[in-house]
Each structure stands twice: as structure tokens, then as C-alpha cells.
Structure 1
Amino acid sequence: MSVIMKTPEPPYYAVIFSSQRTDGENGYGAMANKMVELASKQSGFLGVESARDDQLGITVSYWDSIDAIHAWKEHSAHIIAQEKGKSEWYQSFSLRVCKVERQSFFEM
């Protein structure tokens, strides 16, 4: 998840999940890995980028449609992870869904 994704030509959608964690691991890492693995198998999934320091985590997932985002939100395993996030893993979080209309890349 530490690679800049090569996304297709716009338009497509980005889901930006920003979070502040609670103390302790409590199975978070294993669940995060499982969610990326499951999401990558969903129709419409284009990729994911993620970064975290000791205060803030940001994960951006890319999707080809709003319908694909909605289907992922309603996936049964993802619902369990969302509930655990609210009860155990996150002190606070925000979720933003954006339509990507333009992009550019630079690489040395």
C-alpha cells in the first residue's frame, strides 16, 4: 500500500478515509490487510494508497463508480470492520467521496 497508484483516465472516484487511532493494536493490522485484500476483489476497485504516522492515517481507495463504492460499503465483512472501528480502533475518522476529474503523475 505504499505505492502511488496508476489510476485510469478520469473520471473515477476516490474515497478518502482519514483517522485517528485509539491506543493498542487490538487486531487492527490484520483486519486492515484483510479489507484491502477483499476490496481488491470487488467489482469496480481500481486501487488503494495508504499512509499513517503516530497521529493520523489516510487511506484513499479508487473506484470506477458510485455503485461500486456503495457495494463495498455494504459488504458483510466490511460492515463488521466498520463496527469494530467505531467500537475499538478509531478515536475519530472522516470519510469523503470525491469524483476525480483530472490527474497528473510525475516519476523520475
Structure 2
Amino acid sequence: MSLICNTPKPPYYAVIFTSVRSSIEDGYADMANHMMKLAAQQPGFLGVESARESIGITVSYWESLQAIKDWKNNQNHMQAQQLGKEKWYSEYTTRIVRVEKEYSFNDEGRP
């Protein structure tokens, strides 16, 4: 199983969420898991990839700008965003981009 999303042929959109966590852990993991499950149920959601070291980078993929807007305005997501500002993040940046081209490699056939 690949950890990299199998996205459709471009164009599609990506939301890149780059963050620095605060020292507060209370409830973060549960909320992050809940948001991943909720996002996957949203119309237009294509997938997500995430990594965290000293900074976190989460990239979610979407069919359209409208799907991104609808997710941003989801009531549960809005509550999570507020909690993130209040306690879980010391800073973050969100970037929205249109994916025009992609190419891939995997070594599944390699002995």
C-alpha cells in the first residue's frame, strides 16, 4: 500500500497546510483523526498526505475550488480551526494551488 495519494489526471487542486505545533497536546490527536475521516467524506475530496517533524506539512487534494471552500466552511472543521488557533498551533500557513502536471515513480516491480 502506497503512502502517496493516487490522484486523478490534472488539473485538480491541492491545499498545503504547513504548521508549527504549540506544546499543548490535549485533544490534538483525536481531533486530527476526526478531521481526516470527515474530510474523506466531503464531496470533491481526492486524498491527503501528511508528515511531521519540526514542522508539519499536510497536503489535501480536491476536485475544485468550490470543494475546498465547502470544506473550509464545514461547521466541524471551523471548530477545529478555532481550537487550532487557540491551543494547538503556534503558527501555520495555508496555500491553495492548482496542480497542472504530475509524474510518478514506484519500485513495486523491482526484485
TM range (shorter): over 0.9
Tell me how far apart the structure 2 counterparts of residues 44 and 94 of structure 1 sit (CA, whole Å): 22
Query: For structure 1, which segment, 20-29 or 43-52, has the greater mean C-alpha deviation from structure 2 after superposition?
Result: 20-29
Which runs of structure 2 are paired with 1:18-97 in the superposition (5 Å)? Answer: 18-53=18-53, 55-97=54-96
Partner Cα separation in structure 2 for residue 97 and residue 31 of structure 1? 22
Q: Partners in 2 of 1:24 and 1:76 — Cα distance?
A: 23
- Other structure's SS at 1:85 match: helix
TM-score for both structures, normalised by structure 1: 0.96
Larger radius of gyration: 2
- Amino acid across the alignment from 1:98: V
The two structures, once aligned, show a CA RMSD in angstroms of 0.9
Unaligned runs of 5+ residues in structure 1 are none
Question: Residue 5 of structure 2 corresponds to which residue in structure 1?
Answer: 5
Instruction: State the 1:25 CA deviation.
Output: 1.1
Percent of residue pairs bearing the same amino acid type: 53
Query: Displacement of 1:26 after TM fit?
Result: 1.1
**1:27-82 CA distance string (max 9 Å, x none):** 111100000100000000000000001x1000000000000000000000000000
Q: What are the Cα deviations for residues 85-104 of structure 1, in whole angstroms up to 9, with x where unaligned?
A: 00000000000000000000
Give structure 1 regions of 4+ aligned residues with deviation exceeding 3 angstroms. Answer: none
Could you tell me whether the CA contact under 8 Å between 2:21 and 2:55 is conserved in 1?
yes
